[in-house]
């Protein structure tokens, strides 16, 4: 029997995305976002939702660009600190010891220490209420050699991305392999 919980923003798993931007003075900022995901394959696009009150929201509108850096689980403490300190009051990179690197394709910085980076050009802005959804076209994906698999894609067991759990607001690792998609369902 299912129990009704009312209207809530619950969905599992959610990602941990670090959105990188420059402000009008060129100061790099990094914000942790769990509301986001891929929204188109061709052209490749990603959506992230930010509250209007954030510095990153203003930065994206000004520069029409952002990056997404995906942290490995070894950085979970720094990621959480990024989510606690305010970019308006502190330099988040200094506070966490992380290194901003200027994007090669867009006017936004990414996090050097994180193994996967998406460089995105703003293509749509959708006002939804408390959050604004920004859709970015992914102009390039960069990955550390150390997380690449045998084919041309990253190996999730090397990348070790963090899972965010809305509601109870906890971080989890990615766990064991369950099966190959578009194949498992047809196995006897």
According to the binding rule CB under 8 A, does residue 17 interact with a second copy? yes
Q: Which of 23, 27, 58, 166 binds a second copy (CB under 8 A)?
A: 166
For the CB of residue 186, give the shortest distance to a second copy in the complex, in Å.
6
Residues from 55 through 114 that contact a second copy (CB under 8 A): 68, 70, 73, 76-84, 104
* Strand 17-22 with 28-33, pairing: antiparallel
Contact 109, 67 (CB under 8 A): yes
For the CB of residue 167, give the shortest distance to a second copy in the complex, in Å.
3
Render 9-43 in DSSP notation, one character per residue. ---SSEE-EEEEEE-TT--EEEEEE-SEEEEEETT
Q: Which C-beta is closer to a second copy: that of 89 or that of 187?
A: 187
Q: What are 19's strand-pairing partners?
A: 31, 68
For the CB of residue 21, give the shortest distance to a second copy in the complex, in Å.
18
User: Could you tell me which of 39, 79, 57 has the C-alpha nearest to residue 160?
Assistant: 79
For the CB of residue 24, give the shortest distance to a second copy in the complex, in Å.
26
According to the binding rule CB under 8 A, does residue 12 interact with a second copy? yes
According to the binding rule CB under 8 A, does residue 122 interact with a second copy? no
Q: Which of 7, 27, 88, 158 binds a second copy (CB under 8 A)?
A: 7
């Amino acid at each position: 029997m299912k129990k009704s919980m009312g209207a809530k923003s619950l969905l599992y798993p959610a990602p941990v995305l670090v959105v990188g931007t420059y402000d009008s003075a060129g100061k790099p900022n990094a914000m942790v976002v769990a509301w986001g995901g891929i929204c188109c394959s061709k052209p490749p696009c990603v959506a992230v939702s930010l509250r209007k009150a954030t510095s990153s929201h203003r930065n994206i509108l000004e520069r029409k660009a952002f990056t997404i850096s995906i942290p490995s689980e070894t950085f979970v403490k720094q990621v959480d600190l990024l989510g606690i300190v305010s970019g308006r009051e502190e330099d988040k990179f200094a506070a966490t010891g992380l290194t901003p690197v200027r994007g090669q394709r867009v006017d936004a910085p990414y996090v050097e220490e994180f193994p996967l980076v998406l460089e995105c050009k703003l293509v749509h802005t959708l006002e939804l209420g408390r959050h604004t959804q920004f859709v970015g076209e992914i102009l390039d994906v960069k990955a550390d050699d150390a997380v690449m698999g045998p084919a041309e894609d990253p190996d999730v067991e090397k990348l070790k991305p963090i899972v965010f759990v809305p509601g109870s607001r906890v971080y989890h690792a990615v766990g064991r392999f369950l099966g190959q998609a578009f194949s498992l369902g047809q196995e006897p």
